[in-house]
Amino acid sequence: MPQNLFLRSTDLLAHSDDPLNYINYQNLEQEHKEFMRSDLWDLEFLTSPRAVYFPGNPLIKARLASVSPSFTGEITQLNAIVRQFYIHQAVRSQQSNGSMSLHFVDREDQAIAAFLWDWQQKIGSLEDRYAFRKEDTICTIKLTHFNVSRKPIAKWVCYGCQLASGAIETLNRQFSSDDASIIGEWDATINFEHYDYELLNL
């Protein structure tokens, strides 16, 4: 009579030293922890540029559609060849600057356009070439990432933020006699000198 006709793979694996034993549902479901999501974030100006028209955080939050930050501080290598052996050592870049791209959907009051345009004008006026001091045109920005329970899981605080581009784009509006389309989607780039990064839920 046949023996072990219904032998399961788990019965075999339970008594083996298979290094892939972790490949099973009970391990991989990770106690049903949530994935990180791209739509749960918040951006806040902790300080605004003192010389610049600022529409306020509530309005900026309502019209900011997306944020794409870019940070420096990559790992590089020191390399040497000693008696034909290739030796390397990892080193961390001491740079801590970066940039962020902001995408706004403005409304007919043009508050975001006014904010970006005034910021550029304070950095350097087109009319009289006057420039406000750096201390009056920089700000501090905080970017926070949340989980689905709206608890913060990570935050970045960016210092020495200054507008790099975006104001001129608010002038380049496409008008036509065809069916209506949205005018007022602005992309702005902000450069920053230093950032602090903190994981909040370990």
**Does domain 33-199 match CATH 2.30.110?**
yes
Per-residue pLDDT of the chain (202 residues; tens, 9 = 90+): 556 566 676 666 666 677 777 788 888 888 888 888 999 999 999 999 999 999 999 999 999 999 999 998 889 899 999 999 999 999 988 889 999 999 999 999 999 999 999 999 999 988 899 999 999 999 999 999 999 999 999 999 999 999 999 888 878 877 877 888 888 899 999 999 999 999 998 6
What φ, ψ does residue 113 adopt, rounded to 5°? -60, -40
Contacting residues for 77 by C-beta, under 8 A, at least 6 apart: 88, 89, 90, 91
Contacting residues for 166 by C-beta, under 8 A, at least 6 apart: 102, 116, 120, 186, 187, 188, 189
pTM of the model: 0.84
Domain layout of the chain by residue ranges: 33-199
Rounded distance between C-alpha atoms, residue 193 and residue 122, angstroms: 19
- What is the structure's pLDDT at 4? 59
